[in-house]
A and B are shown apart, each in its own frame.
Chain A
């Protein structure tokens, strides 16, 4: 069965540093991978989508990589700020209508 693993449950970093979150998947060949941000008591918010033929995607301070050989995606936040503190979820997806399955998420805390 499909399995999605996000490297750690919690990650603490100092303000200004780069946060790197990992998403590994097995028994799956996704056409794309999505990253979402979730704040406590709120629904997730879409951040980035990267397709299988893309190596890297950027949006402001965010960068996502996708390695289909390693079956891994890395999510980077550069120049992190306390406002970046949240849980980040990854979700591999296919080109059809198969519902998204989410990883457990990594809870990021950026300390001032």
Chain B
């Protein structure tokens, strides 16, 4: 099966700092990756679609200047939470599909962000 690696798994930071989360597809190329956010006991909420070599597509209500996404290669997408605040504390998860569709997505293990 395909493997998506996400790093770090947990980060605690002070309010106002920026945090970068990496998502790598280890054994396949991912033209498209998806970033989700999940609050406790809630569903996965899609934040943005990351496209290799082009700008990310953000969902309504997600601030693109706050959540910077870079997809510079076919195996790496990064999400940077800029000037993090306590309300940004959440579980962030990336995913990628092997084909051109969204069938059988492979997810990273998630990053628990806690902003103090």
- Interface code A34-53, partner B: CB below 8 Å = 1, 0 otherwise? 10100001111110010000
Q: How many residues of B contact A (CB 8 A)?
A: 25
**B41: which A residues are within 8 A, CB to CB?**
9
B101 close to A43 (CB less than 8 A) = no
Q: Which residues of A contact B (CB under 8 A)?
A: 9, 32, 34, 36, 41-46, 49, 89, 93, 95-105
A101 close to B46 (CB less than 8 A) = yes
B103 close to A32 (CB less than 8 A) = yes
- Interface code B2-39, partner A: CB below 8 Å = 1, 0 otherwise? 00101000000000000000000000000010100000
B102 close to A100 (CB less than 8 A) = yes
B89 near A: Cβ within 8 Å? no
Partner of B103, one of A44, A93, A101, A105: A93
B32 close to A97 (CB less than 8 A) = yes
**A105: which B residues are within 8 A, CB to CB?**
43
